[in-house]
Amino acid sequence: MSLKAAVKVSRRIAEIGHESWGACAANPAYAANPFMAFDFLDIAEQSGCALERAGWGPHHLSVEDEAGQVAAVMPLYLKSHSQGEYVFDHAWADAYERAGGRYYPKLVSAAPFTPATGPRLLVRPDVDPLQAWPILLGGALALCERYDASSLHVNFPTKAEGDWMAGQGLSLRQGQQYHWENRGYADFEGFLAALSSGRRKTIRRERRDAQAEVEILALTGAAITEDHWDAFFAFYMDTGSRKWGRPYLNRLFFSLLGERMADRVLLVMARRHGRWIAGALNLIGGDCLYGRNWGAQEHHPFLHFEVCYYQAIEYAIERGLKSVEAGAQGALMVPTEILARQHFETLSAPLSDHGITAVLLTGRDKGLARADKLRALASGAVQVAVGTHALFQDEVAFQRLQLAVVDEQHRFGVAERQRLQAKGDAVHLLAMSATPIPRTLELTVYGDLDVSRIDEKPPGRTPVATRAVPMGRVEEVEARLRDAIAGGAQAFWICPMVSESELIDLKAAEQRVKELRQKIGPGVGLVHGKMTGPEKDAVMSDFAEGAISLLVATTVVEVGVNVPNATIMVIEQAERFGLAQLHQLRGRVGRGRRESACVLLYDPPLSETAQRRLDILRKTDDGFLIAETDLELRGGGDALGLRQSGFPAYVFADPFAHRDLIAAAGDDARMIVQRDPDLTSERGKALRILQELFDWRAGSPLKDAG
């Protein structure tokens, strides 16, 4: 889409208009942010709080497309002071003036009176941000020159905007804020349960004292009346007069806020003996609660904590809100395109019901279609990406990736998982697998990964009878397979891993297809990794619809294949496969209500390790128990490195022999971090020496990759 190169300057946001501003603010990446909504900014102007006489001269920028429609906007103010910004650049202003300069006026892009991170370069969802941002920034810099302003300040932008503007030559100033995060607590007691015993007791005592003889109400929407605003404004003025000398907001601002944005307001009010004594104002932004103002006219023990913090936390937990800034993204990575498409089809509808946009990204995407998807991820227009290894490629960028989910985690390397996490800052990782790799399982022993274990099968699943049969009886297996197929059954035949070469494995598979067609009939299909996406889709569709009775395959069907009518799995030369692969392959059958079987064909004699692998598969279908056996057989690799299996030279601890001691040490370590995070106590100093002695590498990104 082409944009006009010039910007328009509007001295009031109303000149741009509710509809035009809203089209840009409605970008899914930040639509939930209440402070960039037209209503909030217009209220600041209509009330007179953000106008020239208050030191905020609106000079909002807009960019139009070729059709004359507003495509991007930037809130911008010509400031004659630094009040209401919460950036505290007074020292800069003093230094500037002492050097002979004139610091004011300055240009500021911000949400007035609000130190909350949010977009400052708002772009319509169908517009490329990297096309619009340079025009907006160029317009702001041109205004600096026109008004002889000392500087341009963009306060609390998103990380993507900040990084981009830093790349354009603007200086980056960083600060720190503290956010409370809802970790899925069922209620306030669930939140307290995650704290130390001492902290729990303290908070309960504070809440008990705060609520003694005090009634506390959490009000929103139509429940908020002008009487409430009268009382709250008195609290606000009292706090403002004591802290700032001159409060920024007037009484009209709060009336307009209640009139136009009541559904996005949470007003917590405290009353004693029928008289309002304190209150706190919060704004609701999607899944985030923003605490803004507080005031009180009477002292009461711990009332500040209760009204400002604990009530807000309780409200957020009850409504499933997260104390995170709007615009976060998630990625679901899977090892095969077949599985990626299944997940995408499953997730798209429920995500869409919640206003969340998802995109599918695989190696099949090329040209303009791929470029459009990459732009949508980079701009934040898409919140969820489902894909394969394509997700961690260098050209893929997220605006704000916060959650990475890796399905079939055992199919990815440590560095691959870490590359996906590196697409954002402090990205949470959820790794899923029916058979965790040895390294991951060992990290759970050391307490570096939290574990949720699902030990129940999905409804409708039936047990799979597993038998180990020597290759010398392969003709017997073929005969029984022919009879089962004649009776309407469907089956998989997995060809052996002959070598590391896919071409050699493919030849073995093609030869097996030729033999089976001679013995069983023409209903034998073949699928392998060298096929194109559409070719694989066609074969899998024929198999799912019953046109193919026996599917010969390489391990491409290890994950992501769901054919409930398939009841037989034959794995040729099973001793060549790992435990995780064997368990996953067996999982392709037993998905319907008919009895299912898995035949493990092997070439005798078996090594001791191979014998134990086949034995554990015959005895159990518990993926976690199978994974523990795999860890015991292959070792846990390097917890701080790249190896996912193997036996390291342990200096102190063996994960099996010392499991109980490791668990106790983990509890002790968590207690130390909580009580003495800087390791300044005598015990902490001793731990510092241990770190040096054993070259402990803190915060390894490879460890975090699971």
% of residues, the chain, pLDDT over 70: 86
Half-sphere exposure of 28 (CA within 13 A, CB side): 18
Structure tokens at 681: 């106590």
Query: Domain check: are 243 and 312 in the same one?
Result: yes
Residues 234 and 302 in one domain: yes
Is residue 703 in some structural domain? no
- Cα 563–chain centre separation: 31
Residue 547, pLDDT above cutoff 80: yes
Are 335 and 411 in contact, with CB atoms under 8 Å apart?
yes
| Burial tier of 316 (Cβ tally within 10 Å: 0-12, 13-18, 19+) | buried
The number of CA neighbours under 13 Å toward the Cβ of 67 is 4
Per-residue pLDDT at 698 exceeds 60: no
Rounded to an integer, the average pLDDT of 107-129 is 93
Evaluate whether residue 656 is within a structural domain.
no
Ranges assigned E (strand) in 35-185 = 56-58, 60-64, 70-74, 77-79, 106-109, 122-123, 152-154
Question: What average pLDDT does this structure show over 587-607?
Answer: 91
Q: Identify which has the larger pLDDT, 520 or 328.
A: 520
How many helices (H) and strands (E) would you count in the chain?
Answer: 25, 23
Measure the CA–CA gap between 564 and 584, rounded to whole angstroms: 15
118 and 200 inside one domain: no
What's the confidence (pLDDT) of residue 524? Answer: 93
Phi first, then psi, for residue 333 (nearest 5°) are -110, 130
Q: What percent of the chain has pLDDT over 90?
A: 44
Q: Which amino acid is at 83?
A: Q
- Is 700 buried (19+), middle (13-18) or exposed (0-12) by CB count in 10 A? middle
- Is the residue at 630 inside a domain? no
- Tell whether 228 and 265 lie within a shared domain: yes
* pLDDT confidence band for 703 (50 / 70 / 90): very low
> How many domains in the chain?
4
Q: Domain check: are 197 and 286 in the same one?
A: yes
127 shares its domain with 32:
yes
Query: What integer best gives the mean pLDDT of the chain?
Result: 84
Q: Which residues contact 369 (CB under 8 A, 6 or more apart)?
A: none
The more confidently predicted of residues 654 and 264 is 264
8 Å CB contact between 467 and 599: yes
- Write the CATH number for 593: 3.40.50.300
What's the pLDDT score for residue 439? 60
Q: Is the pLDDT of residue 19 over 70?
A: yes
Same domain assignment for residues 101 and 208:
no
What CATH number should be reported for the domain holding residue 258? 3.40.630.30
User: How much is the pLDDT for 150?
Assistant: 95
Shared-domain flag, residues 94 and 192: no
- 183-187, 205-209, 231-235, 532-536: lowest mean pLDDT where? 532-536
CA nearest 460: which of 588, 593, 594? 593
pLDDT in the model for residue 267: 96
Q: In the predicted model, what is the mean pLDDT of residues 525-551?
A: 87
- Tell whether 402 is covered by a domain: yes
pLDDT in tens, 188-203: 999 999 888 888 999 9
Quickly state the pLDDT bin for 701 (edges 50, 70, 90).
Answer: very low
φ/ψ (deg, to 5) at 357? -95, 135
The domain boundary residue, chosen from 621, 641, 664: 621
Alpha carbons within 13 angstroms on the beta-carbon side of residue 118 total 25
Q: Is residue 20 part of a domain?
A: yes
User: Cα(306)–Cα(684) distance, rounded to whole angstroms?
Assistant: 34
Would you say residue 651 has pLDDT above 60? no
Question: Which of the four pLDDT bands, split at 50, 70 and 90, describes residue 500?
Answer: very low
In a domain, 589, yes or no: yes
Tell me how far CA of residue 197 lies from CA of 192, 201, 260, 351, 667, in angstroms: 9, 6, 44, 38, 14
Are 529 and 554 spatial neighbours (Cβ–Cβ below 8 Å)? yes
Confidence at residue 324, expressed as pLDDT on a 0 to 100 scale: 31
Check whether 356 has a pLDDT greater than 90.
no
- Paired with 599 in beta bridges are 467, 570
Residues 6+ apart with CB under 8 A from 258: 224, 226, 229, 265
**Does residue 130 surpass a pLDDT of 70?**
yes
Residue given tokens 């009461």 in the structure block: 300
Please answer whether residues 98 and 48 qualify as being in contact, where contact means their C-beta atoms are separated by less than 8 angstroms: no
Last residue of a domain, one of 318, 339, 355: 318
Residues 6+ apart with CB under 8 A from 421: 404, 427, 429, 701, 704, 705
pLDDT of 441 strictly over 70: no
Whole-number Å distance between alpha carbons of 136 and 73: 7
Angle made by CA atoms 336, 379, 137, in degrees to the nearest 5: 155
266 and 142 fall within a common domain: no
Residue with the bigger pLDDT between 498 and 533: it is 533
Closest CA to 311 of 409, 191, 152, 196: 191
Distance CA 27, CA 406 (A): 27
Same domain, 24 and 80: yes
Q: What is the pLDDT of residues 55-82, one digit of tens each?
A: 999 999 999 999 999 999 999 999 999 8
- Per-residue model confidence (pLDDT) at position 196: 87
Is 306 in the same domain as 341?
Answer: no
Q: Minimal CA–CA distance to 399: which of 119, 182, 124, 137?
A: 119
How many residues in total does the chain contain? 706
Rounded to the nearest angstrom, the gap between the alpha carbon of residue 118 and the centroid of all alpha carbons in its chain is 18
Q: Is 250 helix (H, G, I), strand (E, B) or coil?
A: coil
Mean pLDDT of the 231-236 span: 92
At residue 242, does pLDDT exceed 70? no
Residue 10 CA to residue 18 CA, distance in Å, equals: 13
In this structure, how many other beta carbons lie within 10 angstroms of the beta carbon of residue 275? 10
Q: Which of 32-36, 351-355, 511-515 has the lowest mean pLDDT?
A: 351-355
Q: Does residue 605 have a cis peptide bond before it, meaning omega lies within 30 degrees of 0?
A: yes
Confidence (pLDDT) at 131: 95
Q: Which residue has the higher pLDDT, 142 or 372?
A: 142
> Does a structural domain hold residue 343?
yes
Among candidates 341, 270, 273, which has minimal Cα distance to 308? 270
Residue 360 included in any domain? yes
The predicted structure's pLDDT at residue 59: 97
If asked whether residues 338 and 233 sit together in one domain, one would say no
Confidence of residue 558 (pLDDT cuts 50, 70, 90): low
CB 132 within 8 A of CB 88: no
Looking up tokens 């402070």, which residue turns up?
Answer: 35
CA–CA distance, 513 with 6 (Å, rounded to integer): 65
Task: Give residue 88's domain range.
Answer: 8-167
